């Protein structure tokens, strides 16, 4: 995980890079909020606050790296930004394909 983070940090200012983490999206926060109202309120609200605290720490880290907007904070935002990048001749999947190959090579 730490090596992966180092590789991301090396690329955050690359125009081809667009960060995405499903568990850090607005849609995931909405899902946990809805689960709180329909299932176990205390448990899921606690999870929601923990997620919010974690996300704030991530945002502070990205601000310090001057890379706040390198990550998409919504699935919809990611989809729109990815389409725009592809339209402008960039390859937002390049980093993830490279990480997949490195992961595959390390298993062999």
Mean pLDDT of 80-85: 96
Q: Specify the pTM.
A: 0.82
pLDDT digits (tens, 9 = 90+) for 14-61: 888 898 899 999 999 999 999 999 998 999 999 999 999 999 999 999
**What sign for the dihedral angle of Cα 88, 66, 13, 61?**
negative
Structural domain span for residue 30:
2-107
Q: How many residues does the chain have?
A: 108
| CA distance linking residue 34 with residue 9, whole number of Å | 33
Please count the structural domains in the chain: 1
């Amino acid at each position: 995980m730490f090596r992966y983070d180092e590789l991301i940090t090396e690329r955050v200012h690359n125009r081809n890079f667009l960060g995405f983490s499903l568990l850090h999206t607005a849609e995931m926060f909405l899902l946990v909020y809805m689960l709180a109202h329909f299932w176990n309120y205390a448990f899921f609200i606690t999870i929601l606050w923990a997620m919010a605290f974690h996300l704030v720490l991530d945002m502070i880290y990205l601000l310090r790296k001057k890379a706040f907007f390198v990550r998409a904070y919504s699935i919809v935002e990611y989809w729109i930004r990815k389409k725009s990048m592809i339209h402008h001749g960039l390859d937002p999947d390049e980093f993830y394909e490279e990480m997949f190959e490195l992961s595959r090579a390390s298993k062999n």
